[in-house]
Amino acid sequence: MTIQYSNPSIQDYKAIPDPIRKKFKRKLSLLASHGITYPGLNAQKMVNEHNIWEARIDIHYRFTFEMDNDIIVVRRIGTHEIYRKP
């Protein structure tokens, strides 16, 4: 799968701590290789959002993304605050 990043996700990535960056890279790799059904991601479609999904990085951090065929577009990375503007 091809991974693309939105401008807000690039800014979010720069703002998160290094240990969370490492976890994010691992989770994104799992998403790309195993898809949304991989149990450790806890991926689910966001309520009231068209084609936007969210997945767990750890207990406090999440990332939102869109999937279309072989393309994953990372939209936001951060705490639960990202749900305000996924």
Q: Residue type at 23?
A: K
Under the banding of pLDDT at 50, 70 and 90, the label for residue 79 is very high
pLDDT(67) > 80: yes
Domains and CATH numbers, the chain: 2-79 (3.30.2310.20)
- The secondary structure of 22-84 as a DSSP string is HHHHHHHHHHHHH-TT-GGG--EEPTT-TT-EEEESSSS-EEEEEEETTEEEEEEEESGGGGG
Percent of all residues in the chain with a pLDDT value above 70, rounded to a whole number: 100
Which contiguous run of DSSP H or E holds residue 2?
Answer: strand 2-5
As a whole number of angstroms, the distance between CA 86 and CA 82 comes to: 6
- Give the 3-state secondary structure of residue 9: helix
Point out the least confidently predicted range of 35-39, 60-64, 73-77: 35-39
Q: What is the mean pLDDT of the chain?
A: 94
pLDDT(49) > 80: no
Does the global pTM surpass 0.85? yes
